[in-house]
Structure 1
Amino acid sequence: MRSRYQIEITDESTGSVFLPNELEVKTALYHIAFGTISIDAKFRQQQDNRQKITISKDIAEKIKFPDMKIPLHLFIQDETLMIGPLIGIFTSGFTPFPMRPVGERTMFFAKLLSVSKNIGALPFLFGEKHINWEHGTINGLFYHLDGWKSIEVPIPNVIYDRLPNRKSERQEEQRQVKARLQSEYLIPWYNPGFFNKLDINERLQQEESILQYLPETQPFTSFSAIERMLADYGHVYIKPINGSLGLGIHQVIYDKHEHAYYCRYRDYKTDSNKLRKFPTLEALMTHVFAGKKLNRLLVQQGIHLLRKVQRPIDFRVHTNKDENGNWNVTAIAGKIAGTGSVTTHVKNGGEVKSINEIFEDKNEQVQAVDKLEKAAIALSKAIDEQIEGIIGEIGFDLGLDREGNVWLFEANSKPGRSIFNHPQLKDFDLLTRKLSLSFSIYLTEQMMASPEELFK
C-alpha cells in the first residue's frame, strides 16, 4: 500500500510509533525503516484524530530521521513500516563553499531538491567523500528553508545519478562507489551512464516498431561510405560518437551542380559559424578533421527539416517515468538554428521557442505535438527495453521533415535544461523536476515488494 503523512517526533514516549486511526494496516507491524536502517518498534494507534505518524525521539535518533516537516510516503511490507523515500542524488565537483556546494550547478540542485514537499520524499545531494562506510551513513546535503545543511542520514532507498559529464563518470572512485552501494545494499540506481550515440542506434535497430524514426547512422569507415550517403541524401552530419551539447558536429553537403563539397561547423577558436568549400571530400576531411581520430566519429543521414525564417527547426522532447513507473512526455520545445549554424544549440546562436511560437496554425500545432509525443514515448520504451540499468528520464532531439515524418537525432540520458529559460516553459521545468524524483517512489515500492523485477 502507498499513502502519505506528516511525520512528527515526540518526547512523551520511547520505542513507539503512533499510527493515525484512518490508516488501515492488514498485517502486524514490528519494525520501522528509514533509508536502509530498520529497527524494532512498538506500534500503537493515535489517541486522538491527528492524521499524522508520531515517532518517539529515541526512534527518530536511531533511524537518523531528520525532522524537516515534509509529508512522506508510507510503504508496508513484511511487518515493516518504511517512511520515505530517502533519495540520494549522486554527483561530483563539490566545493568547500557552504553557499555554493557544487559551484555553478548549485542553483539547479537547489531547484531540484525544492520539489520535495510536492512529491513526498526526502532528497539530498552527496558524493563519494560524504559516505561513512563503517556506519552505513551519509553526510548528505539538504536544501531547506534556510539554505544548504549537512545532515547525517542512512544510506538511501534510491540513488539518482547526476554525474555531470563522461569524464567524472569514468573516474575509478565513482565507479567503485556505485559498485559497492549496489553490491552491499542492492540500491536501485537510476539514470546511470551517458548514452553512446552509435550504441543506441544499433540497439534501436532491433525494435521494428521504431525503425521509421531512425535516420541511417554509420560509424566512419571510409570516404567512399560518406560519398554513398551524400549521393543518397544530399547532405550528412558527422558527429563524435560520445559527443554532447552539440560540440564537434559538422554538416557536409555535396553540390552536384558545382561538383563541390561544403562543410558547415562551429569554429570554437573564433567562436563563429563557418562554411567552407572544397573540391573533393578527401580535401575536406584532411583540412577540417586534421588531428581528429576518425574512428571516433559517426556519419548520419541528413534530413530536410521544417524551417522558420529560412532556418532549420528541431525539437527537444523530455520524457520521464512517474511514480507508477510509466513514461510521460513532460516537455516539448522548438529550437531554431542560428544563422549559418550547423546545430540549434543556443551557444551557437540558436533560439528556443514554444510550440505555439513555432506553429501559428492550431491544427498544425496539434498534429506536430501528437507526432512528437507518440514518437518520444515509443522511443523511450524501446531504449528502456534495450539498455541495461534503470532509466527514468530521457531528452530527445527530434526533427520533423517537410513531409511531417519524425526523425531521432539524439537521445540524452542526462538532458540539458537550457530550454526551460524560456518564460513559457516554466511549468514544464517544474514537471520534469517533480517526475525525476517521483520515479523514486515507484522504485522504493518495487524494491520492497519485488526486487527481482528491478534487477532482472
Structure 2
Amino acid sequence: MDMARYIGSKWRKTVAIRKNKYLTRFVPETARLTKTSLRRQLTRYRMVYVKPEYGRHGNGVMRVEKTSSGYRYQLGNTIRNFAAFDSLFKGITTATKRKRYLVQKGIHLLKHNGRFFDIRVMTQSPAPGKWVTTGMIGRVAAKRKIVTNYHNGGKIVTAERLLRPYTRKVSVKLALLSKLGVLAGRRMSAAFPGVRVIGLDVAIDKSLKPWLLEVNTAPDPYIFRKHPDPRIFRRIMRLARTYNR
C-alpha cells in the first residue's frame, strides 16, 4: 500500500464525494455517530449501518435496526436486542470502545441465493486528469454475515450474474456504475491530489438504484484474479504499474 495516496478517514472521503452534485444523489445519508444522529436515522430509516471511521475489510461494521419490540444490532455473528434506545446506544458505545464511528442510512441490498451482495467498481488514473473504470466484480456475503468483503468470508461472483435475475438491462446498469466510478475518481483526485486508484463499493437496492457505500483509495486488485475474464486483471495490473513507478 502506498501510504502517500491512502486516505483512511471514511468521513473525509464521504464529504469529498458529496461535493459533486451528481454523485450526491447516490450517497446514503451519513453522519458521525452520536446519540442524536443515531436516533434521527433510526427514526427516519429504521435500519442503519454503524461503521468505524478508520477500518478495512468490513471489520467492526454493525447493522442496527428499530424493531416492533425495541432495537437490535448485529456485529459479526453476534445479535443483541434492547428494549430501549438508551440501552442500545450504551451497548453500541461499549462495542465500539468509544472510537470514532459513522452512522449511515441502511440500504436493503439485493440478494444472491439468499445472501446480500454488492459490487466493487475498480477505477484507475493512467495519467493525471484521466480516469477509467477497469473492472467490476460482485461480492456475496458469507452465510449469516452482514458484510460482503472477501476478507470477511465473502464470495466473488461476476456483476453480470448477480444483476441478471433482476433486470434485462444489465449493460445499462453496469454503464452507470462505470460512470459513477469515473466521477468518483475525479472528485477524489481533486480533493486528495495523488490519488490514482479507487475501489468504489456500490449497493443496489430493490428499485435497482445504486448507492455509493464507500470509497477505498488502496483497493485490493487481486480479487479480480477470480474474474472469469483474465484480461480484466491483466489490465488492472498494467495500469497499476503506471502510477506505482
Mark yes or no: TM-score above 0.5: yes
1:332 Cα deviation after fit: 0.2
Q: Please tell me the root mean square deviation across aligned C-alpha atoms, in Å.
A: 2.2
Q: Indicate yes or no: 2:214 matched with 1:377.
A: no
The alignment partner of 2:169 has SS state of helix
Are the aligned partners of 1:338 and 1:344 in contact in 2 as well (CA < 8 Å)?
Answer: yes
Distance in 2 between residues matched to 1:417 and 1:281, nearest whole Å:
41
**Paired AA for residue 363 in structure 1:** R
Structure 1 residues 302-317: aligned runs within 5 Å: 302-317=106-121
Instruction: Return closer, same or farther for 1:231/1:290 CA change in 2, 3 Å cut-off.
Output: same
Deviation string for 1:190-231 (max 9, x for gaps)?
Answer: x62333110111222322121111111101122x32121012
Which residue among 231, 235, 238 is the counterpart of 2:43? 231
Distance in 1 between residues matched to 2:53 and 2:181, nearest whole Å:
21
Deviation string for 1:73-120 (max 9, x for gaps)?
Answer: xxxxxxxxxxxxxxxxxxxxxxxxxxxxxxxxxxxxxxxxxxxxxxxx
Which residue among 399, 409, 420 is the counterpart of 2:224? 420
Distance in 2 between residues matched to 1:359 and 1:282, nearest whole Å:
40
Are the aligned partners of 2:32 and 2:101 in contact in 1 as well (CA < 8 Å)?
Answer: yes
Distance in 2 between residues matched to 1:232 and 1:417, nearest whole Å:
37
Are the aligned partners of 1:375 and 1:406 in contact in 2 as well (CA < 8 Å)?
Answer: no
1:313 Cα deviation after fit: 1.5
1:429 Cα deviation after fit: 1.6
1:321 Cα deviation after fit: 1.1
Instruction: Return closer, same or farther for 1:207/1:425 CA change in 2, 3 Å cut-off.
Output: same
Segments of structure 1 that go 5 or more residues without pairing to the other structure are 1-161, 164-168, 170-190, 267-272, 442-456
Which residue among 243, 252, 261 is the counterpart of 2:64? 252
Distance in 2 between residues matched to 1:194 and 1:203, nearest whole Å:
11
Are the aligned partners of 1:324 and 1:439 in contact in 2 as well (CA < 8 Å)?
Answer: no
Are the aligned partners of 2:57 and 2:152 in contact in 1 as well (CA < 8 Å)?
Answer: no
**Paired AA for residue 200 in structure 2:** F
Aligned equivalent of 2:169 = 364
Instruction: Return closer, same or farther for 1:305/1:423 CA change in 2, 3 Å cut-off.
Output: closer
Deviation string for 1:288-328 (max 9, x for gaps)?
Answer: 54264435111111112222222222110100112475111
**Paired AA for residue 356 in structure 1:** E
1:333 Cα deviation after fit: 0.4
Are the aligned partners of 2:52 and 2:99 in contact in 1 as well (CA < 8 Å)?
Answer: no
Q: Indicate yes or no: 2:21 matched with 1:208.
A: yes
The alignment partner of 1:277 has SS state of strand
1:377 Cα deviation after fit: 1.1
Distance in 2 between residues matched to 1:348 and 1:425, nearest whole Å:
24
Deviation string for 1:356-388 (max 9, x for gaps)?
Answer: 32133683321221121111111111112222x
The alignment partner of 1:322 has SS state of strand
The alignment partner of 1:408 has SS state of strand
Are the aligned partners of 1:396 and 1:412 in contact in 2 as well (CA < 8 Å)?
Answer: yes
Give % identity. 24
Distance in 2 between residues matched to 1:205 and 1:398, nearest whole Å:
15
Q: Indicate yes or no: 2:105 matched with 1:301.
A: yes
**Paired AA for residue 334 in structure 1:** G
Are the aligned partners of 1:195 and 1:411 in contact in 2 as well (CA < 8 Å)?
Answer: no
Structure 1 residues 383-422: aligned runs within 5 Å: 383-387=188-192, 389-422=193-226
Distance in 2 between residues matched to 1:347 and 1:436, nearest whole Å:
21
Query: Which has the bigger relative contact order, CA under 8 A and spacing at least 6?
Result: 2
**Paired AA for residue 202 in structure 1:** V
Aligned equivalent of 1:263 = 73
Instruction: Return closer, same or farther for 1:324/1:300 CA change in 2, 3 Å cut-off.
Output: closer
**Paired AA for residue 230 in structure 1:** L
Are the aligned partners of 2:157 and 2:227 in contact in 1 as well (CA < 8 Å)?
Answer: no
**Paired AA for residue 161 in structure 2:** E
Are the aligned partners of 1:221 and 1:295 in contact in 2 as well (CA < 8 Å)?
Answer: no
Distance in 1 between residues matched to 2:111 and 2:140, nearest whole Å:
8
Rg comparison, structure with higher value: 1
Aligned equivalent of 1:354 = 158
Instruction: Return closer, same or farther for 1:372/1:414 CA change in 2, 3 Å cut-off.
Output: same
**Paired AA for residue 208 in structure 1:** K
Instruction: Return closer, same or farther for 1:325/1:381 CA change in 2, 3 Å cut-off.
Output: closer
Segments of structure 2 that go 5 or more residues without pairing to the other structure are none
1:432 Cα deviation after fit: 1.0
Q: Indicate yes or no: 2:92 matched with 1:276.
A: no
Distance in 1 between residues matched to 2:187 and 2:128, nearest whole Å:
18
Distance in 1 between residues matched to 2:32 and 2:160, nearest whole Å:
37
